[in-house]
Amino acid sequence: MQVPPTTWRCGRFLFDLTIRKRPIVMGILNATPDSFSDGGRFRSTADVISLAEVMIASGVDLIDIGGESTRPGAIPVSLQEELDRVMPVIEGLKNCGVPLSIDTYKAETMLQALEAGVDCVNDIWALRQQGALDAVLKSANCGIVLMHMQRDPLTMQFNPEYQNVVSEVMGFLGERANLLLSNGVEQNRIALDPGFGFGKSLEHNLEMLAKFDRFSELGYPVLAGISRKSMLGKITGKEVDQRLSPSIAAAIMAADRGAKIIRVHDVPDTVDALKLWEAVNA
């Protein structure tokens, strides 16, 4: 078991991971017309930037910009279409005072986003796509989030199977992190995401949340991305735009179990909830 770092390097920024400090709040910024969570309400660059400004005013710590939906069954978009969606947003926010993350698995998008000033790469494929590893190795200090996914977005929810979901996800993430270490990436630049809803059944997701503290044994900050996901809808019966309460509950559960980064849609409410969590745990 590695000792987790006390900081997380994210490009120009260095986050404090002190044990009793509230987790980093990563706000989800969708520059897509087909996001499962907002139905494409924020389509223009100006609209997307305005949403980011609300997040910043609410105390967001990190903004995760995505130009391609990865919801179950999502159809991939071309490289050019993704770039057309995300690059104007990055340009508009690069001096906003908050670190930016690019949510992509495409190497060229990573390269252009990092060159434009993005601080972190968040990859659902954990750098398994062609050129992705080389892309992040070109950056001396970008943060890197490696996520576990079984199969791909088109097929990941077709009867996912595991003998032991926590152990298997940990094994995969440990291997991917070790690959980065072997290529000279510092431990405190790497974060891990077990991938709730990415090739997991409801039972798999609940087991991962119940045993979320296990993932910290790998020695890296762990990200919890449960906001508005279908697992919450299956339990509560709520539609995607009515899942604020269970999303906040899941964020607090993850924080209690060692999550250092919470990826969310509802930034103001989550920041307030985690401020209370931090005060109680001080």
Distances (CA, A) of 242 to 29, 233, 266: 18, 9, 11
106 catalytic per annotation: no
Centre a 10 Å sphere on the Cβ of residue 16 and count the other Cβ atoms it contains: 9
CA dihedral 59, 91, 74, 166 (to 10 degrees): -50
CA proximity to 123, closest of 68, 186, 41: 68
How many residues comprise the chain? 282
**Residues 66, 103 contacting (CB under 8 angstroms):** yes
Beta-bridged to residue 13, according to DSSP, are 10
Phi then psi dihedrals of residue 22, to 5 deg: -65, 150
Beta-bridged to residue 26, according to DSSP, are 62, 263
DSSP annotation of 222: B
CA proximity to 281, closest of 259, 265, 266, 250: 259
263 catalytic per annotation: yes
Q: Which amino acid is at 103?
A: D
Catalytic residue among 176, 229, 257, 260: 229
Residue 149 tokens, joined: 């996914």
Distance CA 31, CA 45 (A): 8
Binning the chain into helix, strand and coil, the percentages to the nearest 5 are 40, 15, 40
| Catalytically annotated residues | 229, 263
